[in-house]
Amino acid sequence: MTLKNFAEEKLTIGIIGAGIMGRGIAQLAAMAGIEAIIHDIDPKIVADAAAFIRQMIDKAKEKGRLSDADAVRCKSCIRTTSTLSDLSGADMVIEAIVEKLEVKQAVFKEVESLVSPDCILATNTSSLSVTAIAAACARPGRMIGCHFFNPVPLMKLVEIIGGMQTDPAVIESVQALVTRLGHTPVRVKDAPGFLVNHLGRGMNTEGLRVLAEGVAAPHQVDEIMRECAGFRMGPFELMDLTALDVTCPVSEQVYAQYYQEPRLRPTPELRLRLSAGILGRKTGAGFYPYVKGEKILPEEPGVPPLPADARFWISPTVAGLAEQIRGLLQAANIGIDEGETPGVDSIAIVTPLGQDATTAILEEHIDPERTVAVDALFGGKGRITLMGSPATRRDVIDAAWAAFAAAGRKVTVIRDSAGLVAQRMVANIVNTACDIAQEGVAGPAEIDTAARLGLGYPEGPLAMGDRIGAGVILEILENMQMVYGDPRYRPCPWLRRRAMLGLSLLHEEQV
């Protein structure tokens, strides 16, 4: 193939499908001064899309982001057609039509008969294999996945997916084009869910597991993820925003396409909610109820009274974490039991990593009725997550809750759970990212970039794992796997090897 210089030369791009995504891509191209010819099966949608893009250009002008002359120039880049053959002169054709393999294959077959042999063919598919779409083409080497996110102008990430037969020069050209459009390209292998829709399963499916086990309610999981783990949104807020008619099929497809990989396993509640039409924010009911589009949260429960004689013994097992809890309670003048073992009237506090309260209590040979567990790893600043074993007395949990509240902390009381909430959620996110790196779906730096730009994470999961400590993440997962016996939590070799060798999770071996 003889390709133009996609970073600089004058280009014409054909866009097939002028729905949500197609019009966004056309807008981006026009605003970058690239001629965009918009086509749709429905001529009315083409006209709507062109009017919408002109409106967006006017808005940008009003906001001072475009000069009058630039606005005229951008508008002149938009062309429309109801005849596919008008795309014959295009340097690249991007398809954003219905998500059906046979329809996409048929459209590309027809396009191939119209355009020049040097025209790049790109699909915006989010769940179909690029290789499978290309299989219907006479020249599969020119087919590529160019996965934009919604809303296209705001979501700066584009996954560039090379199929089994994609020509490397095509990948280079499309990367250059995406950069020219002002977006960030990440190179991804043709794999189920590509990068972002695979990575996103780490948080969503673990949130669903926490719910299925009856450990915590959706709002409790979300507040822990925001206030303790530093995420902008927890899994249930995110699923309500995306809506279950998108999340449920994506979760099921990625799980099935990876041949029931336990790490990606959703829970039955997802499909049940979809069947009931409880889709999320857009239907006014999801994991949260909504009134006029606003999420309704349950009130923060009242803090129980702190018994005057309450004394706490803090297990020294996880040294740094125990000290942190001791300091917190001491600063609030809460009585501390300094004995080597808990006194008969003391409440014992354990700070497990990846274990549940039951396992930690039994390992330490302390009284299960008078022991609570605290997430000290994610309890440094914000909310404290507190849980008992099934044997722990309610008055003991309440006294511990009151003590942390007296120390100025909000408290979420959950049921016994290996890895509490934040530990298991974060460990699963990091493990999923490591798995993606191990399988070579994308490079480690690309994984972190995609998580920030595509999923809105505050930092990439591999950098997050490094900050917490790869060894700590490994310990959490190993202990979780011991408690649950579920291969879902088996640490990925990428994580295990780097943790054992003391290397960064972003480290790539030189092969």
Active site (catalytic) residues: 126, 147, 159, 197
Least distance from C-beta 100 to ligand NAD, angstroms?
8
Burial of 21 (0-12, 13-18, 19+ CB in 10 A): buried
Show the tokens assigned to 469.
Answer: 């400590």
Candidates 126, 359, 385, 412; binder of ligand NAD (CB under 6 A) is: 126
Q: Does 124 bind ligand NAD (CB under 6 A)?
A: yes
Task: Select from 92-100, 417-425, 457-465, 477-485 the region that touches ligand NAD (CB under 6 A).
Answer: 92-100
Distance of alpha carbon 511 from alpha carbon 491, whole angstroms: 23
Q: Please say which residue, 22 or 193, places its beta carbon nearer to ligand NAD.
A: 22
Distances (CA, A) of 93 to 123, 194, 227: 8, 21, 45
Q: Does 125 bind ligand NAD (CB under 6 A)?
A: yes
Q: Does 18 bind ligand NAD (CB under 6 A)?
A: yes
Candidates 13, 15, 17, 425; binder of ligand NAD (CB under 6 A) is: 17
3-state secondary structure 234-285: CHHHHHHHHCHHHHHHHHHHHHHHCCCCHHHCCCCHHHHHHHCCCCEHHHCE
Task: Select from 96-104, 156-164, 252-260, 277-285 the region that touches ligand NAD (CB under 6 A).
Answer: 96-104
Of residues 150 through 179, those in contact with ligand NAD by CB under 6 A are 150
Distances (CA, A) of 9 to 63, 183, 184: 29, 18, 19
First CA to last CA distance, the chain: 30
Of residues 44 through 83, those in contact with ligand NAD by CB under 6 A are 45
Q: Please say which residue, 24 or 352, places its beta carbon nearer to ligand NAD.
A: 24
Distance of alpha carbon 221 from alpha carbon 207, whole angstroms: 7
Candidates 96, 270, 386, 477; binder of ligand NAD (CB under 6 A) is: 96
Distances (CA, A) of 302 to 268, 299, 334, 412, 416: 33, 9, 20, 11, 21
Instruction: With beta carbons less than 8 A apart as the criterion, state whether 228 and 382 touch.
Output: yes
Q: Does 442 bind ligand NAD (CB under 6 A)?
A: no
Distance of alpha carbon 508 from alpha carbon 285, whole angstroms: 44
Q: How many residues bind ligand NAD (CB under 6 A)?
A: 22
Least distance from C-beta 106 to ligand NAD, angstroms?
7
Per-residue DSSP letters for 115-142? S-TT-EEEE--SSS-HHHHHTTSS-GGG
Candidates 21, 115, 397, 420; binder of ligand NAD (CB under 6 A) is: 21
Least distance from C-beta 474 to ligand NAD, angstroms?
34
Please give the residue whose beta carbon sits closest to ligand NAD in the complex: 19
Q: Please say which residue, 67 or 113, places its beta carbon nearer to ligand NAD.
A: 113
* Closest C-alpha among 463, 429, 425 to residue 446: 463
Candidates 7, 20, 256, 297; binder of ligand NAD (CB under 6 A) is: 20
Least distance from C-beta 190 to ligand NAD, angstroms?
15
Q: Does 98 bind ligand NAD (CB under 6 A)?
A: yes
Task: Select from 11-19, 59-67, 311-319, 349-357 the region that touches ligand NAD (CB under 6 A).
Answer: 11-19
Least distance from C-beta 115 to ligand NAD, angstroms?
15
Candidates 1, 32, 41, 169; binder of ligand NAD (CB under 6 A) is: 41
**Rg from Cα positions in the chain:** 27
Per-residue DSSP letters for 67-119? -HHHHHHHHHTEEEES-GGGGTT-SEEEE---S-HHHHHHHHHHHHHHS-TT-
Instruction: With beta carbons less than 8 A apart as the criterion, state whether 311 and 339 touch.
Output: no
Candidates 22, 145, 185, 419; binder of ligand NAD (CB under 6 A) is: 22
Q: Does 99 bind ligand NAD (CB under 6 A)?
A: yes
Candidates 11, 97, 186, 191; binder of ligand NAD (CB under 6 A) is: 97
Show the tokens assigned to 306.
Answer: 């702190």
User: Could you list the residues that contact ligand NAD (CB under 6 A)?
Assistant: 16-22, 40-42, 45, 96-99, 103, 107, 124-126, 149-150
